[in-house]
């Protein structure tokens, strides 16, 4: 049943509405153009729970503008509790209660910023976001505040009160946060409540709303979407919570821009596993302006407002059972798990909402969430499909929009052991014999795949091979013959001005090719010069730095897996050979 507290007349009305707004089986969303690609931003919950305070809020605004905005992240979202009047632990800013014993509301029951944590209100934060080119968002709980019910406050511009529209049945209200009662959308005051609340929030400068506890109640989803359309301000709408989400209510959900389909996701392996399950279940449900959301990215420092008072397990509740998971810690995922986590988000076209503290964010996590190919794949806006699975290895593919030969692939090792796999064009979902140039993103290498060329890879447990592929151009490539002459100076050839010694054959080769005029040896001796040439690196960064002899081998060798110019040329479709010293 879609409408848990609705009456039959509402079902009939909504059925007619759906018939009017359907287009090719997908409900029309007037807000769709606000999110043409999965939204990207930061949410305060993973790092501050429901206790974000003004100082931390402003610090994260500045850090977001510096670290994330240049890469396309734009939504800064204050999560739940911004209206809570919390009791604090003596002499600290830390909360002494999980949820606030009181909330701050105005004469119509609309939420106002906490005097405890936001003494100057939200306006300075919203204004700073807008000054920096960011967009500002807040979290709202479904319904009408219980405090408004207790005070029997009026519904603005109506003859009704909070008690007329509130649903007090415990079965139809949130179990984990008791700030609000649900709203009876069969009552004429129900839509008026949401219209007034959304107008109030819009006037705070809000560009994004994360609406919680609303997914099980599609009638209220529709009411919020309608109120946003009326308010006169473009606002992206995100729906929560996930977990037990009814796919049959997808038409109502598509009036929003984001739909959470997982429970809260934290920094443990079983949460990654849950995201894979959600990916399978919701694959293909995304559409223009509507994205399947797998919750925040728990990288970096988490739970800053839940201090460790001892040496307890970082995933424990600590001395006071506060919101979120565990106590203050750095993300517990390994590097391999982090790569899997962010690759999954990219290939699933899930909104990228960073959760960890931004001022203290570690370099590795920042590099993952701003990786160029991760962002390109994610913003392509297509949920990937599973092409292959065997013995714990899964291959998921996303094609670039409008192409059949360009895209991204994730080869996930979901087992507990190292797995080997031979990567071929067929494994990537491409036609037999199709030649493609492949970029191995996390291992920073390129290779060519074709009918005659495959690539054997080893993937660590819970790690991923993230590949970007594109066709090898069919246009004729020039043959390249590179002659490196030892102990030959710049002025020793006729083509470079030598007049005493004639070099007619070399001159003729130069006339038909490229003449380098600023092409310098990497070193004063031959072995490191060759290493510089082959790797494209400065001599200070190569493995061979002098003419060091090694018995039975000759010169000191480069490591076997060194990426050389030959690898790059092979990835471009060339066949290469080295002749001589």
Among 330, 347, 379, the domain-final residue is 379
The Cα–Cα gap between 68 and 86 comes to 31
The Cα–Cα gap between 532 and 204 comes to 58
Residues 353 and 436 grouped into a single domain:
no
3-state secondary structure of 368: helix
Show the domain range for 459.
385-471
Q: According to the model, what pLDDT value does residue 114 have?
A: 98
The Cα–Cα gap between 576 and 387 comes to 32
* pLDDT tens-digit series, residues 85-120: 999 999 999 999 999 999 999 999 999 999 999 999
Q: Per the domain annotation, does 477 fall within a domain?
A: no
Strands 464-471, 549-550: pairing kind: unpaired
Q: Per the domain annotation, does 484 fall within a domain?
A: no
The Cα–Cα gap between 315 and 327 comes to 6
Positions in the chain short of pLDDT 50: 1-26
Q: According to the model, what pLDDT value does residue 3 have?
A: 34
Q: Per the domain annotation, does 112 fall within a domain?
A: yes
Report the number of distinct structural domains present in the chain.
3
Q: Per the domain annotation, does 478 fall within a domain?
A: no
* Dihedral sign from CA coordinates of 5, 256, 239, 165: negative
> In DSSP terms, which residues pair with 458 in a beta bridge?
420
Among 407, 442, 471, the domain-final residue is 471
Residues 232 and 140 grouped into a single domain:
yes
Q: According to the model, what pLDDT value does residue 477 have?
A: 65
Q: According to the model, what pLDDT value does residue 8 have?
A: 29
Residues 320 and 442 grouped into a single domain:
no
Residues 91 and 16 grouped into a single domain:
yes
């Amino acid at each position: 049943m879609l409408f848990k507290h609705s009456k039959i007349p509402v079902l009939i009305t909504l059925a007619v509405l759906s018939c009017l707004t359907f287009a090719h089986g997908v409900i029309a969303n007037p807000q769709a153009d606000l999110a043409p690609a999965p939204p990207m931003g930061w949410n305060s919950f993973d790092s501050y729970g429901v206790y974000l305070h003004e100082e931390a809020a402003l610090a994260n605004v500045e850090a977001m503008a510096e670290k994330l905005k240049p890469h396309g992240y734009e939504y800064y979202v204050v999560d739940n509790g911004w209206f809570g009047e919390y009791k604090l632990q003596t002499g600290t800013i830390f909360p002494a209660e999980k949820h606030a014993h009181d909330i701050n509301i105005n004469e119509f029951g609309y939420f106002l910023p906490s005097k405890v944590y936001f003494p100057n209100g939200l306006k300075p934060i919203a204004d700073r976001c807008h000054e920096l080119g960011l967009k500002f968002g807040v979290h709202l709980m479904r319904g009408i505040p219980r405090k408004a019910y207790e005070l029997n406050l009026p519904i603005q511009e109506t003859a009704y009160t909070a008690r007329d529209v509130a649903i007090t049945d415990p079965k139809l209200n949130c179990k984990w946060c008791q700030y609000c009662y649900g709203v009876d959308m069969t009552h004429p005051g129900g839509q008026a409540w949401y219209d007034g609340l959304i107008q109030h929030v819009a006037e705070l400068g809000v560009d994004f709303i994360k609406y919680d506890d609303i997914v099980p109640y599609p009638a209220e989803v529709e009411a919020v979407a309608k109120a946003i359309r009326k308010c006169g301000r473009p606002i992206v709408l995100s729906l929560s919570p996930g977990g037990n989400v009814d796919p049959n209510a997808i038409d109502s959900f598509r009036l929003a821009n984001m739909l959470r389909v997982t429970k809260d996701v934290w920094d443990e392996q079983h949460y990654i596993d849950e995201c894979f399950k959600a990916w399978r279940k919701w694959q293909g449900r995304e559409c223009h302006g509507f994205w399947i959301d797998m919750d925040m990215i728990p990288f970096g420092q988490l739970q800053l407002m839940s201090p460790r008072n001892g040496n307890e397990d970082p995933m424990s509740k600590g001395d006071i059972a506060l919101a979120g998971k565990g106590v203050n810690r750095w993300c517990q995922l390994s590097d391999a798990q982090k790569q899997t986590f962010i690759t999954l988000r990219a290939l699933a076209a899930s909104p990228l909402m960073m959760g960890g503290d931004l001022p203290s964010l570690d370099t590795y996590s920042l590099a993952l969430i701003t990786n160029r190919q991760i962002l390109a794949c994610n913003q392509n806006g297509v949920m990937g499909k599973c092409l292959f699975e065997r013995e714990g290895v899964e291959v998921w593919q996303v094609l670039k929009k409008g192409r059949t030969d360009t895209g991204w692939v994730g080869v996930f090792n979901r087992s507990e052991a190292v797995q080997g796999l031979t990567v071929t064009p067929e494994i990537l979902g491409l036609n037999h014999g199709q030649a493609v140039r492949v970029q191995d993103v996390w291992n920073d290498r390129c290779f060519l795949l074709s009918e005659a060329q495959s690539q054997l890879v080893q993937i660590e447990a819970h790690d991923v091979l993230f590949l970007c592929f594109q066709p090898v151009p069919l246009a004729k490539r020039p043959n390249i013959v590179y002659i490196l002459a030892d102990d030959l100076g710049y002025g020793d050839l006729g083509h470079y001005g030598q007049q005493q010694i004639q070099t007619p054959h070399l001159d003729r080769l130069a006339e038909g090719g490229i003449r380098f005029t600023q092409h310098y040896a990497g070193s004063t001796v031959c072995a490191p010069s060759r290493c510089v040439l082959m790797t494209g690196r400065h001599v200070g960064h190569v493995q061979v730095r002098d003419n060091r002899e090694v018995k039975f081998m000759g010169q000191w060798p480069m490591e076997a897996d060194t990426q050389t110019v030959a690898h790059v040329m092979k990835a471009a479709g060339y066949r290469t050979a080295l002749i001589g010293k």
